[in-house]
Amino acid sequence: MGGIASHFLAGTPPPDLLKRKMSSSITTTPARAWLESLRPRTLPLAFASIVVGSAIAAWQDSLKPGVALLALLTAGLLQILSNLANDYGDAVKGSDNEDRIGPLRGMQKGMISQAQMKRALVITVVLIAIAGSSLIALACEKPSDVVGFLVLGALAIVAAITYTVGNKPYGYLGLGDISVLVFFGWLSVAGTYYLQTHHFDSVIMLPATACGLLAAAVLNINNLRDIESDRANGKNTLAVRLGPTNARRYHALLLAGSVLCFALFTLFNLSGPWGWLFVLAVPLLWRHALRVVRDPSPAGMRPMLEHMVKAALLANVLFAIGVVLS
């Protein structure tokens, strides 16, 4: 932070920020701006929870490929909705500005107007409704299940939008991590499992919690990167509330908790060595945690975001493969 602060005190932007401004003004096209707002790199993490839930269904000889594919489509669209709504909400509130360390998005660059983003949000909600309704029609056998999943789907849409949009977005209140745990962990994994097996088993909550904790770790890295600009703009994420040091300790706990949940499920439910395949991702998670804890600068979190996404995806996929092979 000292280097960045010195540039601002001197009246000049830091080199990294200047480079981002120059590159964004030179290379951005409307198509690229939309691609940046869609953030396709975040989609694999949304898919991972569906893969884990489907893997456990397959382990119990209940895999339904059609249901799994529609669940993947719905989850991907919900992630896109969340990404677009996040860009819209932060841009309108001024939280995403030229001083942030993270990449500049389409609305920040003036390449996407508010009206265009609103239309994109409406279109995405319609697509989610179509995909989600198709999923429910294919998978649900009882009227109560239909009603229940319609309610959960509506809640997921509301949660995706209101993270940064509205008068009191919960992302500005430090509640984003809880939402990610619920929707990317518990509901995604357990919901996918239930839609294919038509019963609920409490043991599913261990891998569901692991997936949710890994997703929360991705969000936490993002918030650690933007902690200074978020604090300045009144976006009180959990990282802002905890402070830089405690937020880094919290990050390590998220990773340790995810590994523990995977391990407990494997220990009490799987036999043979394949169930422990996820352990191959532990060294990557460990090195990542050490780098996060030891690097005090928000700018240092920028490359860590991609590392975290890859590590989380690897852990989830290895766990899913291990479950299927057990």
**Structural domain contains residue 104:** yes
Which pLDDT score, from 0 to 100, does residue 105 have?
65
The pLDDT score that the predictor gives to residue 18 is 41
**2 in a domain, yes or no?**
no
Asked whether residue 290 is domain-assigned, the answer is: yes
What is the full per-residue pLDDT of the chain (326 aa) written as tens digits? 444 333 333 334 444 444 444 444 445 788 888 888 888 888 998 999 999 999 999 999 999 999 999 999 999 999 999 999 988 888 887 765 565 565 666 777 778 888 999 999 999 999 999 999 999 999 999 999 999 999 999 999 999 999 989 888 999 999 999 999 999 999 999 999 999 999 999 999 999 999 999 999 999 999 999 999 889 888 899 999 999 999 999 999 999 999 999 999 999 999 889 999 999 999 999 999 999 999 888 888 889 989 999 999 999 999 999 999 98
What is the SS3 assignment for 96?
Answer: coil
Q: What is the pLDDT of residue 102?
A: 59
Instruction: Give the pLDDT of residue 167.
Output: 85
279 found inside a domain? yes
Give burial (CB, 10 Å; 0-12/13-18/19+) of 141: exposed
Written as six digits, the tokens of 157 are 């849409």
Tell me the two tokens of residue 306. Answer: 């991609």
> Residue 24: its pLDDT value, please?
44
DSSP string, 38-52: H-GGGHHHHHHHHHH
Number of structural domains found in the chain: 1
User: What is the chain's length?
Assistant: 326
Domain assignment present for residue 23? The answer is no
* Residue 17 confidence (pLDDT): 44
Q: How far apart are CA 229 and CA 235, in angstroms?
A: 8
Q: Which two tokens stand for residue 268?
A: 């009490």
The token duo for 255 is 């990773």
Q: Please check whether residue 221 lies inside any domain of the structure.
A: yes
Q: Give the CA dihedral 49, 50, 56, 57, nearest 10 degrees.
A: 160
Residue 1 within a domain:
no
CB contact at 8 A, 89 and 169: yes
| Interatomic CA distance for residues 48 and 215, integer angstroms | 10
Residue 171 domain boundaries: 40-325
Is residue 195 situated within a structural domain?
yes
